[in-house]
Amino acid sequence: MKYVYILESLDSLHFYIGITDDLRARLAKHNAGEVPHTSKYGPWRIKTYIAFSNQAQAVAFEKYLKSASGRAFAKKRL
């Protein structure tokens, strides 16, 4: 399984979109400061995650969420 996830900082001012095989381990890495992009804005919590059995679909959805229309979709629907 591939998981596309949206993290939210505890102050709700910052969001991060990513993809992983192990959601719990990835969240632990974000909160431990091991991911350079998110280390300065933590701690993080999972806002939304979606499981995919197909890696290509997961990558395409993550790419969409990182686009302008995808961010608008996520803000309104997720």
Right CATH number for 2-68 from 3.30.70.20, 3.40.1440.10, 3.30.470.20, 3.40.50.360?
Answer: 3.40.1440.10
pLDDT at 68 over 90: yes
Contact present, 57 and 66 (Cβ < 8 Å): no
- Residue among 65, 29, 62 at smallest CA distance from 44: 29
Instruction: pLDDT band for 63, please (50, 70, 90 cuts).
Output: very high
Instruction: Tell me 34's DSSP state.
Output: -
| Model pLDDT, residue 12 | 86
pTM summary value:
0.92
| Model pLDDT, residue 78 | 85
Contact present, 29 and 17 (Cβ < 8 Å): no
> Picking from 1-5, 19-23, 37-41, which range would have the lowest pLDDT averaged per residue?
37-41
| Model pLDDT, residue 35 | 94
pLDDT above 70 coverage of the chain, percent:
100
State both tokens at 75: 């803000």
Kindly give, in sequence order, each residue whose CB lies less than 8 Å from that of residue 75, ignoring residues fewer than 6 positions away: none
48/74 Cα distance (integer angstroms): 9
| Model pLDDT, residue 49 | 97
